[in-house]
Amino acid sequence: MPRIMLYRVTRPLDLAPEVYPPFISLILQGEKQLQIGTQSVHYRAGELFIAATDMPATGRVTVAEADAPYLAVRLTLDFALLSDLICTMPATADAPLSKGMAVLAADDMLLAAWLRLLRLRDHPADIAVLAPLAERELLYRLLCGPQGQLLRQAADVSSHFSAVQRPISWLKSHYAQPVRMAALAGMANMSLSVFHRRFKAVTGLTPLQYQKHLRLYAARSQLLLMRGKVAAVAASVGYESLTQFTREYERLFGDPPARDSRRHRQ
């Protein structure tokens, strides 16, 4: 099941900054905190996190021990499957634009759906036939729940939520390039003021903040994994000023680039 990831962590741990794809995640044991822009999201065992759009975030496993490790499962969302399922369900009334993320308690039916999906890992021969059915049941339970409207908006190509996805996708692929707000607003077919408001409502960040996070996360990955020179890395992600890059990097990650890189290699 390629879109399912299982996690096991035996101690509190800072996680690498990541641009999370749209996903749903259930904590089975332990607790985790995500920092998305200025928003801090904390969730624990028995709770589900939904990210309905690409989310630049830093994370920390806050509760984990060797004899009681943090355990979680994550499923990357398939919007084609979600849209197909929604078409078979009764229509719902229009709702205000949802935030792109939510935390909710998993009820017994939702937990049972997760369990049926995960048990297929022990029966590989059944996965091709039964995994799509189990995933469909899981998504159905979510759509019927308190955050179903969020998933409906994300899967509806005509929604304001989906309109914001077009500039988000462009920024993900072109974060190192200079950006014009008017051009991004045009991708969403919105006025500049409406686009700015709806973009922040969905992502928790302004468009420029979103681009900045993409740049800095990419830079940190290069520095920690490939040990590149700071000036070259800054230029590769779109910064013309090394001073500005260093200042914004330290503001987001707590240390200037060179020190942060050395600390993680120790």
Task: Provide mean pLDDT across the span 21-33.
Answer: 96
Which pLDDT score, from 0 to 100, does residue 118 have? 94
Which pLDDT score, from 0 to 100, does residue 179 have? 92
Task: Provide mean pLDDT across the span 208-218.
Answer: 95
Which pLDDT score, from 0 to 100, does residue 108 have? 95
Residue 1 predicted with pLDDT over 90:
no
- Contact status, residue 8 vs residue 27, Cβ threshold 8 Å: no
> How far apart (Å, rounded) are the C-alpha atoms in residues 256 and 266?
16
Residue length of the chain = 266
Which pLDDT score, from 0 to 100, does residue 93 have? 67
Which pLDDT score, from 0 to 100, does residue 227 have? 66
Task: Provide mean pLDDT across the span 184-206.
Answer: 94
> How far apart (Å, rounded) are the C-alpha atoms in residues 251 and 219?
14
Residues of the chain with CATH 1.10.10.60: 157-266
pLDDT in tens, 101-149: 999 999 999 999 999 999 999 999 999 999 999 999 999 999 998 889 8
pLDDT in tens, 165-191: 999 999 999 999 999 999 999 999 999
Taking the C-alpha atoms of 198, 203, 207 and 209 in order, what is their torsion angle to the nearest 10 degrees? 140
pTM metric for this prediction: 0.87
Supply 168's token pair.
């988000």
- Contact status, residue 205 vs residue 242, Cβ threshold 8 Å: no
Q: Can you spell out the DSSP letters for the chain? A: -TTEEEEEESS-EEEEEEEEPSEEEEEEESEEEEEETTEEEEEETTEEEEE-S-EEEEEEEEE-BTTB-EEEEEEE--HHHHHHHHHTS------PPPPSEEEEE--HHHHHHHHHHHHGGG-HHHHHHHHHHHHHHHHHHHHTSTTHHHHHHHH-TTSHHHHHHHHHHHHHHHTTS---HHHHHHHTT--HHHHHHHHHHHHSS-HHHHHHHHHHHHHHHHHHHT---HHHHHHHTT-S-HHHHHHHHHHHHSS-HHHHHHHHH-
Residue 235 predicted with pLDDT over 80:
yes
pLDDT in tens, 116-128: 999 999 999 999 9
> How far apart (Å, rounded) are the C-alpha atoms in residues 73 and 68?
16
Which pLDDT score, from 0 to 100, does residue 96 have? 67
Which pLDDT score, from 0 to 100, does residue 147 have? 86
CA distances from 242 to 40, 104, 138, 229, 238 (A): 29, 42, 47, 11, 10
Supply 118's token pair.
């995960």
**Summary mean pLDDT of the chain:** 91
Greater confidence (80 vs 1) lies with 80
Supply 173's token pair.
């692929």
Which pLDDT score, from 0 to 100, does residue 262 have? 81
State how far Cα 215 lies from the chain centre: 16
CA distances from 166 to 13, 162, 170, 172, 244 (A): 34, 7, 6, 10, 28
| Arch. (CATH architecture) of 4-153 | Sandwich (2.60)
Could you tell me the fold of the domain covering 157-266?
Arc Repressor Mutant, subunit A (1.10.10)
Greater confidence (136 vs 39) lies with 136
> How far apart (Å, rounded) are the C-alpha atoms in residues 56 and 40?
12
Beta-sheet strand order (sheet of 31-36): 13-20, 55-63, 31-36, 39-44
Which pLDDT score, from 0 to 100, does residue 95 have? 65
